[in-house]
Structure 1
């Protein structure tokens, strides 16, 4: 979807920022709706269909995390969710599991906001076509049970922007990986370049965001980004 065709809901308790973001987005031709906290945003979501949500995190009445958690609990599908905040205390693993695609720090530029929004509004079929100019220095190769057996459980899950899986390997957040996942007895192989978004060494789990999918696996991976998988950006397995 093009930004000019989208309906965007902006949520922030600071009137000046709410107005600035609205003006920035309005210049791009999209329809902009505004809410001063999560409770007001929920009223808007119950009445109108939106294509993207841009929300502050710390707000009175209902904060950003509670807002996206409520959206998830009600089974509402918001195709794109972006957090904008001056605080870095958000749980990345929970935010991505609740559907948040990007977390942008304040202050930020109009260019940064629009780029994140345009990327998040793209159809899955438009994404992950271009490999990184410099191949990742780190690699991870996994062999898991048959896909239909492990997808959706603690071994492996796909979201609309990445996947999580069980592994004893440990990498720092933002590490770039060449990721290969084979499934026992099946021809399909996940061949991707990805960025580590969280790594839980205690539970032996890792969540990654796709940056590139090899042509041989792209259609197969995207075909599983439906139903429940569309409600989460990177699952919390």
Structure 2
């Protein structure tokens, strides 16, 4: 059995039998588990106990998992939350992750998928408390921006693709660099690719590389940006202008 980092987990489910079963499984893995049978009880526990991660059922009476997540974010922005549901769908999962839920898993939960999600969520603490060097380019007291940065820190710990929308000059690439700096791959390269700055006829060659003689002027083989970025993170700007074949 792989030794896991000790952590305090809060499990929330209005089904006592399922709550007890999952609690026993996670306790056997070395986690300290606290349980709540409602969203309101969970909020009371969060107010007085140190919790590192919340795992909540989606469908519950009075306050469902997403409503609980919204309340948690008001008082503890950045607290990782994993949602479990027996009624999951792809649109539900997309909506939940867009709102900042760390992971959305369908019941019956695959053991390995659950433990992987827990380990990744807890890796948020890999950035020491008070170490804000990853976000040094942001100077703000705006509650909205502070929450955005907490979400950026959270998503940085996973391997998901991130879409950053905004007008030109609003700092999309700066935010992308901050996400990279907060990630476990921060020591790897950060490669920014501005698709608008590359001529369409050369874009495919720049991205994927080419062999010597592949086209007129290709006097030698060249490594593409994708190969150069192996193990690193890429930031794409103006991706929409790419032809569908490149996308």
Contact 1:53 1:82 in 2 (8 A): yes
The change in CA–CA distance for 1:41 and 1:148 in structure 2 (over 3 A counts) is closer
Contact 2:72 2:79 in 1 (8 A): no
Give the structure 2 partner of residue 99 of structure 1. Answer: 100
When you count helix as a share of all residues, which structure comes out higher?
2
Contact 2:73 2:79 in 1 (8 A): no
Structure 1 residues 3-32: Cα deviation after superposition (integer angstroms, max 9, x where no partner): 441000000111121011101100011110
* Residues 91-100 or 37-46, more deviating: 91-100
Alignment of 1:121-160 (within 5 A): 121-123=122-124, 159-160=152-153
Give the structure 2 partner of residue 84 of structure 1. Answer: 84
Give the structure 2 partner of residue 216 of structure 1. Answer: 189
- Between Structure 1 and Structure 2, whose CA radius of gyration is higher? 2
TM-score (norm 1): 0.55
What secondary structure is seen at the aligned counterpart in 2 of 1:166?
A: coil
Give the structure 1 partner of residue 112 of structure 2. Answer: 111
TM-score (norm 2): 0.53
Contact 1:68 1:98 in 2 (8 A): no
Give the structure 2 partner of residue 164 of structure 1. Answer: 163
RMSD: 3.8
How many residue pairs are counted as aligned between the two chains? 161
When you count strand as a share of all residues, which structure comes out higher?
1
Structure 1 residues 206-227: Cα deviation after superposition (integer angstroms, max 9, x where no partner): xxxx897771239xxxxxxxxx
Q: 1 CA distance for matches of 2:42 and 2:67?
A: 11
- The structure, 1 or 2, with the larger RCO (C-alpha pairs under 8 Å, 6+ apart) is 1
